[in-house]
Every structure is written in C-alpha cells, then in structure tokens.
Structure 1
Amino acid sequence: MIGGIDAGSARVFAALLEARTGQRIAAGRSWRFDTALGPLLQAHGLERVDQLTTRLLEGKDKQLADRIVDALLNQETSFFRDVGVIEAAVVAMADRPAPRIWCAACATGQEPLSLAMLFAEAGGAMPAIVATDVSAAAITRARDAAYTQFEIQRGLPVRRMVQWFEPAADNQWRAATALTGAIQYRRHNLVVDVAPTGEFDLILCRNVLFYFAPQLREKVLERLAGALRPDGLLLLGAGETVIGQSERLRPSARARGFYERVPVSDERNRVYTGG
C-alpha cells in the first residue's frame, strides 16, 4: 500500500493523469490520491480506491476517466494570489490600449477575475482575456463565476467583494458582468492543443510547468513563446523559469520577474554561429 492506496491503483491513476494532461504526480505526493479521490468514491458508493480502479478498467462508465482526472488535477487558486505579481502584470500593460491576455491553467477563474478587477479599477480600457484550463469541470465553474464564502474570503478584500460581486443562490457570490464580460473561457490542454488564436501582450502560466516532465515543459514553453507578441511578456510561477529550458524565451530586461521572446535576429544568429 502507498499512503492508503495500493501501488497498482496508484500507477493506473498516475498514468491516466499523465496521458490526459502531461502532468505527473511525484512519488512523495501519493497522499493526493486519497485526498482527491475521496469525494469521488463517496459519489459512486464505493468504500475503497481499488474498487474505483476496477470500475475504471471495466470501461463501462465512459465519463469516469474524465472525473478521475478532474479530481486529481491540482486546482489550488485564490483571488489576488501573489498580489504584488498580479499588480506588476497590470502595471506592465499600462501603456497598451486594450491588451490581449491569456491566463493559462486558470483553474476556477479567480486569476482572470483578479486581473479584470485591477484593470477596471485603473480606469483604462478593459483587456480581452482568454482564460483556459484542461479541466472541463473547472472551466464550467469559472464561467458560472459563483464562489462560496470561503473562496471569496481567500484573497478578496471586503471592499472589492461588495463592489464587484453580488449575492447568489446557496450563499454564494457571483462576479459582476462588468468583469465576466472581459473574459472568454475555453477548455485547453497545454501539451496537445494549439494556442488560442492570435498573439498576446501578456501570458500568465503560473504554477503548472513543474508538473510536467522536462521534454513536455520545453514543448509548452515553445508554444507559449509562439503565442506572445514580439514585445509581449510571460509570467510564470515563483518557482518556475525558462532558463535552461527554452531557447525562445529569456528574462525580460523591461519588466523584472517576467520573460520575453528572444528577438528573431538573435535566434537566427544562434543558428548561423552554431550556438
């Protein structure tokens, strides 16, 4: 047994998650299986994880694999997570009229809503935000833009809650249309899907790259670089970097903590000189 789950089941679920999303569960984080799959066991009236494995392998429930993957994905997020970083992203876009922004791996939508609030409060034109996630369940929740009291209290000051949210059913709070109207949500797999159409002034892809194997990380960074405008900026999580993992991206000289595309001339130079 591994942390309450048998080794065979752990391998099955880990392989399913990696095949569907490219994400890996490290050996030392096997506790995620017990924590994440508990509600799914209850919903199916099962007592043990190996029973869920059996049902998955039988293949009779065509939706079960999707539900297991959604349960295993780390959807940890909050409003204004790393608020200084979010504010710096808005400041970096201050001189751009209606910038195009891609929030990749947006989970249940708190990050794009936080950006929309800051832009609205700054008084300029609202950006066009494309927010994507591999989880269909997360995107459905993000589109609904309704959050529990617990979710609202995680990072959202009372002043902003009153200004930008209104009471909804089941003691939830729903974001104002002034915010949600600026955001287009889509299901998107960073590993296998092409980037959303067009180039972006700003891309946020935070705290997801470290779940990928190195070769997949390089592939995703290549895709993100291709989606940036020549003068666009990329924002990764605090523990993530492009250094040693991408030849098309480098730390930005214009905005500390961000990354930018390597100019085409520099890329050609490297090819010509064998660098």
Structure 2
Amino acid sequence: MEVSQASYQIIADLLEARTGQHLTESRRWRIGTALSGVFREHGITNVDQLVCLLDLPMRNPGKPDLSQQVVEALLNNETYFFRDKPTFDQLPEDVLPEIASRRADTKRISIWCAGCSTGQEVHSLAMLFNDAADRWKDWTIEILGTDVSHRAINAARNGVYSQFEIQRGLGVAQMLRHFEETSQGWQVRETTRAMSRFQQHNILTEPPSRHRFDLILCRNVLLYFDQAKRERAFSRLSSALSDDGYLMLGAGETVVGQTTSFRPAPRRASIYTSERAPTALHAGAAH
C-alpha cells in the first residue's frame, strides 16, 4: 500500500511522541500491513483516510482511542519463549547463581523485563525458577514485565497462547509442566504466573519501581530508538539497576559507543554491568 510522505510523517511523529520509537524510512513499507486490522475495524481503506480521522473523538468504550490503536499496531511485538536460547541459558547457569550469592542475606531477587511484549520472556524466567524449585525454596522472586503497549500487557497478564506461540521455544515436557489447555488456548499455570506481574510503562520515563533491580532484561527494544532516545533509555536503565546488578540486551544491541552508564561483563554475551559496579565485577574476578 502506497503511503504519502505527509501521512508517513504524521504516523512517524505519533509513534515517536507516544513511545520514543523512530519509524525509519526502511520501515515505511510495513505501515499499511501493520494497520490492516485498524482499517477493518473502522471501515478505513487507506493511510491518508486514517490520518484525517486521528484527531476526531471516536468513542469506543473499553478500547484505546484510534491514535493509541495505530501506535500499538505499529509496535513490533515479536517475541517467543526462551528467545536466543544460548544467551538466555547464561541466566540459570551463571548470572542468577552469582546474584543469589550476593543476596543470600535477604533471599530476594528482583527482575525487570523492559519491553516484555506479550509476556513470553517473563514467563520463561518464571519457568526457570519453578524448574529449580528446591534451589529457590524460601526465596522471594519478583519479576516485573513492562511494555508501552496496553494490548501486549493485557495479553501477558492473561498468559494465554496459541498452539503456534507455544511451539516457539518450548518443548513438549515444558508445555505440559507449565501450561494447561483451555478453550482459549494454552494458559500459563498459576504456580508459574504467581511470581510475575505486569504493567504498562514507557522505558523513557521514570523507572517503574522505587527500588533497584538485580537484573534487567531489555532485549531488542533499543533498536528502534534514535541515538538521543537510546542514551536517555540507558540513563533510565542505569538508575533502575543495583550497583552490582546485570543488564541483558538483545544479540544485536550493545552499550559500546552508545553510553558510559554500562560496561560489557567479562566473558558473558549480551550481559553488562553498571559503571557503578564494584571493581571485581568489571574485572570478572568471580570467574
């Protein structure tokens, strides 16, 4: 679908104003496809017509306004369970045990998944802890998932996934252990959901909690920010992370040349430490 320059700019400005994400020219081609559901719901045939309706009050109780629907349709909610498994496997094998050794006195670990989309990453973490229940007995594990999308957060809270979504990243044994089949799809069992909570939040605003997190996952989120927004996001993440905590980014992301708030963690892929971290962490003395 052809999108005029004027309509593209209005849509791009709306997305950036609401989320901070930069809609580059290289992503312009997908606007029509991404908005096809919005077109059908409102009887719209093209992007120019949609843009003309954005400022009109379209009352639809219980649903986001048209502008918010447009924004949410344009967000990339691509995710799946245990995404980038070799990277994810560092958590139970290395990172979480090290964090636990530092939190032995409180027996509490707090994790933030920023840009959690429809919740698969959060539920994957919960599965890790449940699969090692004896190791984490008497521990308090808190996992917070946030996303700018109202629709994605609702899906994450419900924890119901289609057969296709379930098969992406999960083995049969994991599926049967952590999910139950319902008339709507496969739902995460309550024992797995219990340690997680979700809320709508923009990473560019103040952190979602007053206390600092021991581990922050922010994977494949910063890719969509321009340099200025990326620096701001790193600043927010830094203020939310404990001095001795860890940040995990996506495989295609890095802090190198992007921020002075974090440094690569020695011998760990996609894992970073705060600039405030003790010297031993920067040096990799624990290894």
Scaled by the length of structure 1, the TM-score of the pair is: 0.90
| Letter of the structure 1 residue corresponding to residue 150 of structure 2 | A
RMSD of Structure 2 on Structure 1 (CA): 1.8
User: Aligned to 2:244, what secondary structure does the other structure show?
Assistant: strand
User: 1:67 — aligned with what?
Assistant: 69
Map 1:207-222; keep pairs closer than 5 Å: 207-222=220-235
Letter of the structure 2 residue corresponding to residue 83 of structure 1: K
* Separation (CA, whole Å) in 1 of partners of 2:35 and 2:213: 36
Percentage of pairs with the same residue: 42
Give 3-state SS (helix, strand or coil) of 2:203's partner: coil
Q: Is the 8 A contact 2:110 2:215 kept in 1?
A: yes
Q: How many Å apart are 1:173 and its aligned residue?
A: 0.5
Question: Once the two structures are superposed, what CA deviation does each residue of 1:70-98 show, in whole Å capped at 9, x if it has no partner?
Answer: 10111000111101211212331124144
Aligned equivalent of 2:127: 117
Aligned to 1:104: 114
Within a 5 Å distance, the mapping from 1:73-222 to structure 2 comes to 73-91=75-93, 92-95=95-98, 96=100, 97-123=107-133, 124-125=135-136, 127-170=141-184, 172-222=185-235
Q: Distance in 2 between matches of 1:19 and 1:94?
A: 40
Q: Note the C-alpha offset of 1:154.
A: 1.2
Mean Cα deviation higher: 49-58 or 211-220:
49-58
Instruction: Classify the secondary structure of the residue corresponding to 1:128.
Output: strand
Residue type at the aligned position of 1:181: A
Q: Which moved more, 1:205-214 or 1:194-203?
A: 194-203
Structure 2 CA distance for aligned equivalents of residues 60 and 174 of structure 1: 33
CA offsets 1:172-213 (integer angstroms, 9 cap, x no match) = 100011111110101110112334221111100000112111
**Per-residue deviation, 1:253:** 2.8
- 2:207 maps to a residue whose letter is V
CA distance in structure 2 between the aligned counterparts of 1:155 and 1:262, rounded to whole angstroms: 33
Post-superposition shift, 1:241?
1.0
Q: Output the CA distance in 1 between the equivalents of 2:28 and 2:97.
A: 43
TM-score (structure 2 length as normaliser): 0.86
Q: Which runs of 5+ in 2 are unaligned?
A: 101-106, 280-287
Distance change (3 Å), C-alpha of 1:265 and 1:157: closer
Name the SS of the counterpart of 2:35 in structure 1: helix
Give the C-alpha shift of residue 223 in structure 1.
1.1
What SS does structure 2 have at the residue aligned with 1:32?
Answer: helix
Deviates more, 1:248-257 or 1:152-161: 248-257
Deviation (angstroms), 1:22: 0.4
Q: Contact 2:119 / 2:153 at 8 angstroms: preserved in 1?
A: yes
Q: Report the counterpart of residue 45 of structure 2 in structure 1.
A: 47
- Structure 1 residues 265, 184: closer, same or farther in 2, change over 3 A? closer
How many residues in Structure 1 have an aligned counterpart in Structure 2? 263
| Amino acid in the other structure paired with 2:236 | R
Please identify runs of 4+ aligned residues in structure 1 that moved more than 3 A: 57-62, 254-257
CA distance in 2, matches of 1:86, 1:265: 24
Give the superposition deviation at 1:64. 0.7
Letter in 2 for 1:262: E
- Contact 1:86 1:115 (C-alpha < 8 Å) held by counterparts: no
CA distance in structure 2 between the aligned counterparts of 1:165 and 1:159, rounded to whole angstroms: 10
Decide whether the 8 Å contact of 2:87 with 2:269 is kept in 1. no
